[in-house]
Structure 1
Amino acid sequence: MIEIQMLRRLMIWVVPYWTMFAFAIISLITIAVTTSLLPLFIKPLLDNILTSQHGLEEFQFALLAILGLLITRSLASFSCSYATSWVSGKVGIDLRRTLFDKLLALPLSYPKETNSDKLNINLFSEIEHATDSIAQILIIFVKEILTITGLLIVMILLNWEFSFMGFLIAVVIGLIMQFVSQASNSHQKVPSLLITPTFLTSCKHIKSIKLDGSQSQESQHFCNSIDHQRNLALKQVVAKTFSKTIAFIMIATILTVFFFLFKQQISLGMMTVGDASALITAVLMLVLPVRRVLNIQTSPQNKFQVIHNVDALLAQQNETDPGKVEIANARGQIRFEEVNAGNYSQTCPPLFNLTLTIQPGEIIALPGSSQGQERTLIDLIARFIHPASGRILLNDVDIATIKLTDLRAKIAWITPDTRLLNDTIAANIAYGTMRCATEASIMKVARTCHVTTFAREMPHGLQTRIDNQDIKFTENQRQRILIARALLKNPAIVIIDETTSVFDTDCRLVNNALDALIQNRTTLIASSQPNMLGKAHRIIKLT
């Protein structure tokens, strides 16, 4: 059964596009009206063909009316498809953007609480499919209900005595077709993978099979699995074909009785051939709408599960900021006082009783350990995670009391594999809170980090787009852009994270750019590269 509550929630997203949605509804009404009127014009058309009592003008009018209805219905169908696709596309974009903004606002501990990676990937990939499917359900529901209503009115106008019987026949045929369709879909699920476990087990234990000399037994077991699968498939084909045959016989019998009754009515002069043809047309036209409405009631609910998942994600609590203290200038002194951090995720192993002081301007290297605790330490500094006990102080101020925006404004976190935006070089340097930086300041850091070395050779300089198909940026050029971005921020603390990838320090220009970035700044380098460790004043191994 359709979840009305889910549809109501979805309609909230549709409200900003109500004009196009209203256009789609008008198109649906037009489709229903034109479909319902067709039988009315079939009657005079056939009466005129079979008798000579009516003139040519009436015949031409009926013929042109049918042509006009078909053309109008085609145009309305096109308009409806375009409008619904436009609205569902817009709603899909809004949902994706809302989800993306929500993911950016969630705390770092969110991945531990749910299987978020898989869930989020599925959400983003399935939103478009879900919105399109739900839009199609709404279209079918509105259009088919209106069409059924219109055809019933037309049947009553033609012959009210046969209208009820005709409707029952349409419903019965629709139910039979729906049953056969469901049976066919279930029969299509042939267990083609039944032999896979046997095959994989045999491959896994091939050594013991050879040593035990059991090749013939395993081969016979494999053949038995194949034969069992063949028998299942044969039974399903028989059941599928038999159900279709029975359905065909039932429908043929019903239509035969129906046609016989019409013949009697025509013979008694109680109905013309045109009346009978119009009623038969209306009944046959009722079958498909009835079947579609019935199919909505049995549609899989996974279309609405995506909306459930969206609601569940949006209900998650955003990253909180209890900090009140503002810091204008930070010298970069960091002090850990008996800090203990829990196991937030696989990428953030626990820290126990850490006491450490990092002086302003000091460069600390954190070589990779088997536990990966260096990642936990740098996450603590940026307040991505919180210590279970102990304190972390920046310039003798507990970072838990500092406003999150102020704290993170003093930190530049740089990783070599950060994705650049599909924008200009300058826009990638002036990123985030620095997006309003002056052209002079952007140019200054671009020179310092040797970005201008390659940018001046490009047709638009720093205004060259990263996604320009005619220009291929090398990896070290991209890394220099990232370093320039960090330098423009003028941070008190620099965190160089090489836990997932490394900087091209063999390139002299990248190495010089890194040196310019960390000069006179408190720096933590999470790396095992000898070139990076060589820049440190002190190497700290966490255990």
Structure 2
Amino acid sequence: MSGPMAARMAAGGPNARSMDFKGSGKRLLKRLAAHRASVVGVLVAVVISVGLSVVGPKILGHATDLLFGGIVGGQLPAGQTKEQVIEGLRAKGDGGMADMLGGVDFTPGQGVDFGAIGEVLLLALAVFAVAGVSMMIGTRLANRAINLAVAKLRGDMQAKLSRLPLSYYDKQKRGEVLSRATNDIDNIGQTLQQTMGQMLNSLLTIVGVLVMMFWISWLLALVALVTVPLSVLVAAKVGKRSQPQFVQQWKTTGVLNAHVEEMYTGHNLVKVFGRQQESAEQFAEQNEALYEASFKAQFNSGIMQPLMFFISNLNYVLVAVVGGLRVASGSLSIGDVQAFIQYSRQFSMPLTQVASMANLVQSGVASAERIFELLDAEEQSADPVPGAKPQNLRGHVEFEHVAFRYDEDKPLIEDLSLTAEPGHTVAIVGPTGAGKTTLVNLLLRFYDVTGGRITLDGVDIATMSRDELRAGIGMVLQDTWLFGGTIAENIAYGAAKDVSPEEIEEAARAAHADRFIRTLPDGYDTVIDDEGTGVSAGEKQLITIARAFLSDPVILVLDEATSSVDTRTEVLIQKAMARLAAGRTSFVIAHRLSTIRDADTILVMENGAIVEQGSHDALVASGGAYQRLYEAQFAQAVAEVD
């Protein structure tokens, strides 16, 4: 395997090991334990159910003894006692039969007492019925506890995603994050649903059956326990081999989901550049990797059940042989042996079930590891409580000797200072990677500065809550973001309060979006999806600009906001922005000439530092870095506009 696939799989190859199987399992159980009432109810119901189920075979064994004793007694002449019959058999030299009848309760001349047998069977029926009802109640309570725990886990995941810094998303693929938030949580829910009640039932059954087995015959109980070490050894060996494969299975699932998400959202580019074949080949490689990981995980854990069945049958044979010898010697009754054989089955079945559930448990814990890894990810610094607020929010922004770096050993911005006056438009230009967008991210506290400080109306933004800071900032990005809903709902998304249709239309007119919206079949009630199907890229940009206008911010941040509109529309937008920018501070990152020329102050950035600042005319006249950018990027645009 080579190319992109090798790079993506390098972090989790086939030999990837479980990070913390026991720790993740304990954390998962603690989340269940949080719902104590339901968990206690499950325990009580399962104990009752298992206890009655364990007593059932002993009751049925008594019915067998009554039936066999009646048959024996009916074939013997009346007038004798049981002891006399046995002594007569020994006198005739039939000691084996005498020993066997010694363990049978019968009365010579008295046949089968069907009334007594019927009472015993009714008692057994009642016992099994109550056991079944108890198990049903326990299952219902278990489902409730599991669903509550999974719902809480899903809520914690959502809350965590909102607290993670932007740097986390910069390093993670969206499909991978989505896979953890959906596939892994669903897998945990299914695992708990399929294993929690059954696992508890199996473990309690093992204990209960052991007690009954020792009560009936300690010798047969020891014979039945001979195969337990072998069962434990098989379960441990198989589990050790399959757990890393389950971890790899869910890692590969995340990688595949990330690839599918990338190819779906960028399907236009894939087709334009003729990369369908390469995309299909990458999908095939990743799909094959997922198949191999899933096959190995399921195969390794799947051999558990047949091995456990073999051991169970071996146990059955040993118990039957030794039990038959005990009946022949008169040490046990046939009913007790019958009950013991049932107990041996009941004892082996839970062991087999626990072993066969190992694959589900390992798969669920592997998903839990991935979720807890995300929940343990470093969060953005907490907001101060209470947060500071400017007394009069005007939009005066100052960067004071600001330093910032994404990586500790790679400085990006060093000792940057600038002042943005209220009502002024500050344009930021420079080559790619100069730090233009980073400057805006620092203002919005998507990242925190590593040196210096940023103030808003004299208040350090690090002392303000993020919500309070961002409430006064409207932002329009180069990459538009819309959600499934009407156009009116998408525009109103930027408002902090309920807005009227008139206010929505006013914002649309200000952004010059009203004209094209009214040409749509349902106007402002036209429903679009998150991809903005039905509207062009420029029209989507106008909708997002209208959204920013409706938020009525003190500070406007436009990051290449007009990159998707034509020159004429851009001029109209700039005129509308000029009206709306009155009294507001505007930060504009753009390469389009009209945006740069109309700005009050233009900042030229190179390598994270401001190398020039001033008006358009002054910077052109200076013959510095801006002049070089102007000649390289804007000369042709000037000719087109002029």
Distance 1:246 1:405 in 2: 58
Counterpart of 1:527 in structure 2 is 590
Q: Give deviations 1:421-457, integer Å, cap 9, x for gaps.
A: 4555554434377044455534532454466657668
Distance 2:339 2:553 in 1: 81
Q: Please list every run of 5 or more consecutive structure 2 residues that lacks an aligned counterpart in the other structure.
A: 1-19, 72-110, 247-298, 607-642
1:147 aligns with 2:192: no
Counterpart of 2:57 in structure 1 is 39
Relative to structure 1, the CA distance from residue 68 to residue 384 in structure 2 (aligned partners, 3 Å threshold; closer, same or farther) is: same
Distance 1:419 1:254 in 2: 65
3-state DSSP class of the match of 1:366?
A: strand
3-state DSSP class of the match of 2:377?
A: helix
3-state DSSP class of the match of 2:414?
A: strand
3-state DSSP class of the match of 2:445?
A: coil
Contact 1:177–1:291 (Cα < 8 Å) also in 2: no
Per-residue deviation, 1:305: 3.6
Counterpart of 1:204 in structure 2 is none
**Which AA in structure 2 matches 1:28?**
V
Relative to structure 1, the CA distance from residue 11 to residue 246 in structure 2 (aligned partners, 3 Å threshold; closer, same or farther) is: closer
**Counterparts in 2 of 1:186-225, with a 5 A limit?**
none
Contact 1:497–1:525 (Cα < 8 Å) also in 2: yes
Query: Which structure: larger Rg?
Result: 2
Contact 1:483–1:513 (Cα < 8 Å) also in 2: no
Counterpart of 1:354 in structure 2 is 416
3-state DSSP class of the match of 1:281?
A: helix
Contact 2:476–2:558 (Cα < 8 Å) also in 1: yes
**Which AA in structure 2 matches 1:124?**
A
Per-residue deviation, 1:542: 0.9
Q: Which moved more, 1:279-288 or 1:452-461?
A: 452-461
Distance 1:33 1:367 in 2: 77
Match of 2:405 among 338, 343, 363: 343
Contact 1:152–1:163 (Cα < 8 Å) also in 2: no
1:496 aligns with 2:558: yes
Counterpart of 2:90 in structure 1 is none
Distance 2:241 2:462 in 1: 62
1:369 aligns with 2:427: no
Q: Give deviations 1:230-260, integer Å, cap 9, x for gaps.
A: xxxxxxx9xx99xx89995x76665444322
3-state DSSP class of the match of 2:605?
A: coil
Per-residue deviation, 1:172: 4.1
Per-residue deviation, 1:266: 1.9
Distance 2:33 2:240 in 1: 36
Distance 2:22 2:55 in 1: 32
Relative to structure 1, the CA distance from residue 355 to residue 59 in structure 2 (aligned partners, 3 Å threshold; closer, same or farther) is: same
Per-residue deviation, 1:282: 0.5
Relative to structure 1, the CA distance from residue 399 to residue 457 in structure 2 (aligned partners, 3 Å threshold; closer, same or farther) is: same
Relative to structure 1, the CA distance from residue 336 to residue 72 in structure 2 (aligned partners, 3 Å threshold; closer, same or farther) is: same
RMSD: 5.1
Contact 1:2–1:297 (Cα < 8 Å) also in 2: no
Q: Give deviations 1:287-332, integer Å, cap 9, x for gaps.
A: 23245668999975746645753663377742457963424341x4
Distance 1:36 1:122 in 2: 43
1:506 aligns with 2:570: no
**Which AA in structure 2 matches 1:39?**
P
Contact 2:383–2:464 (Cα < 8 Å) also in 1: no
Contact 2:224–2:344 (Cα < 8 Å) also in 1: yes
3-state DSSP class of the match of 1:542?
A: strand
3-state DSSP class of the match of 1:313?
A: coil
Counterpart of 1:96 in structure 2 is 154
1:313 aligns with 2:377: yes
Distance 1:365 1:102 in 2: 35
Contact 2:405–2:450 (Cα < 8 Å) also in 1: no
Q: Please list every run of 5 or more consecutive structure 1 residues that lacks an aligned counterpart in the other structure.
A: 190-236
Contact 1:106–1:317 (Cα < 8 Å) also in 2: no
Q: Which moved more, 1:317-326 or 1:256-265?
A: 317-326
Per-residue deviation, 1:162: 4.3
Equivalences, count: 483
**Counterparts in 2 of 1:5-404, with a 5 A limit?**
7=26, 10-11=29-30, 15=34, 17-18=35-36, 20-29=38-47, 31-44=49-62, 46-47=64-65, 52=71, 53-56=111-114, 83-108=141-166, 123-125=180-182, 126-130=184-188, 132-133=190-191, 138-156=196-214, 159-162=216-219, 164-165=221-222, 168-169=225-226, 171-172=228-229, 174-175=231-232, 177-178=234-235, 181-182=238-239, 248=310, 255-290=316-351, 302=366, 305-306=369-370, 309=373, 312-313=376-377, 317-320=381-384, 324-330=388-394, 332-337=395-400, 339-344=401-406, 350-367=412-429, 369-390=431-452, 392-394=454-456, 399=461, 404=466
Length-normalised TM-score, structure 2:
0.59
Relative to structure 1, the CA distance from residue 34 to residue 350 in structure 2 (aligned partners, 3 Å threshold; closer, same or farther) is: same
Q: Give deviations 1:268-288, integer Å, cap 9, x for gaps.
A: 344333321210110121123
Contact 1:180–1:247 (Cα < 8 Å) also in 2: no
**Which AA in structure 2 matches 1:366?**
I
Contact 2:316–2:341 (Cα < 8 Å) also in 1: no
